[in-house]
Amino acid sequence: MKAIIVEDEIPAQEELSYLINTHSNIKIEAIFDDGLDVLKYLQTHEVDAIFLDISIPSLDGVLLAQNISKFAHKPYIVFITAYKEHAAEAFEIEAFDYILKPYHESRIVTMLQKLESHFQRDSQDKQEASAPAPSNAPRVSHSINLIKDERIIVTDINDIYYAAAQEKVTQVYTRKEEFTMPMNITELCNRLPEEHFFRCHRSYCVNLSKIREIVPWFNNTYILRLSDLDFEVPVSRSKVKEFRQLMRF
């Protein structure tokens, strides 16, 4: 796995390089302190990950990442910055992670482990996709980026139990955590694999594999009780027929 570091402070360059070399198998191909130099480099080189500061000369990290996100080969972007207010922008760019300075070694180590794991999984998916298969076969998504406390958390799809609309945002629930996503529930549902998640109500989307009990309710509707959670998700009347077909009853 190949990576570059974009950081204009030499002590931060050196510390990050040391942690990457010590705790991962990622090869650092180059280090830059200027955004335009990075764009020039990427015109002739491909890398798998970019560790990117936001406050850099010529072209700030957010604009640089926006340009890179349009490339055919999209490297993982890991923002490492002192500015927490850019977390929402990082999410829109679909950054892999967002780490605030001063960072802790344990936080970097956890990020590196997840990064290598996702790289291996995505590489395997690409190999499988290159094998003969129907042209309309969908690409399986294994993870989704969720936001909590201005951090981007790469979350396994299977860890999500349900999502609930709340005005202009959507709350996403795992077994132990709650995340606030800056989008409506329709946008969120479009990012989740439809073979696993069902829009059971205009305000709810549920992971079908987490349903423990289907309880008949008023007006021929249902209430869904989920494994491990003390919460009931409603199925609206307009969704009952589709839900019964999905659940085969």
Domain that holds residue 224: 144-247
In this structure, are strands 2-6 and 49-52 parallel, antiparallel, or unpaired?
Answer: parallel
Query: Residue 17 in 3-state DSSP?
Result: helix
Low-confidence stretches of the chain (pLDDT < 70) are 128-141
Provide the pLDDT for residue 138: 44
Last residue of a domain, one of 92, 127, 162: 127
Q: Are 65 and 93 in contact (CB under 8 A)?
A: yes
Provide the pLDDT for residue 83: 76
3-state secondary structure labels for all residues of 218-247: HHHCEEEEECCCCCEEEECHHHHHHHHHHH
One domain, residues 38 and 122:
yes
One domain, residues 79 and 22:
yes
The answer to whether residue 20 is domain-embedded is yes
Helix axes of 35-42 and 61-68: crossing angle, nearest 10 degrees: 20
CA distance to 102, 106, 146, 198, per residue, from 92 (Å): 24, 26, 11, 24
Per-residue pLDDT tens digits for 45-83:
999 999 999 888 888 888 899 888 888 888 999 998 887
One domain, residues 172 and 102:
no
One domain, residues 116 and 65:
yes
- At 151, which CATH number? 2.40.50.1020
Provide the pLDDT for residue 223: 94
With the C-alpha atoms ordered 41, 47, 53, 59, is the resulting torsion angle positive or negative? Answer: positive
Q: Are 212 and 183 in contact (CB under 8 A)?
A: no
Single out the residue of 53, 11, 45 nearest to residue 29, CA to CA: 45
Domain count for the chain, please give it.
2
- Which tokens go with 164? 């609930």
Burial of 64 (0-12, 13-18, 19+ CB in 10 A): buried
User: What is d(CA 165, CA 184) in angstroms, rounded to the nearest whole number?
Assistant: 7
Please identify which residue in the block is written with the tokens 């959507």. 170
One domain, residues 122 and 149:
no
Please identify which residue in the block is written with the tokens 């094998």. 131
One domain, residues 49 and 164:
no
The answer to whether residue 63 is domain-embedded is yes
- At 76, which CATH number? 3.40.50.2300
One domain, residues 19 and 116:
yes
Q: What are phi and psi of 18, to 5 degrees?
A: -60, -45
One domain, residues 109 and 218:
no
Provide the pLDDT for residue 153: 86
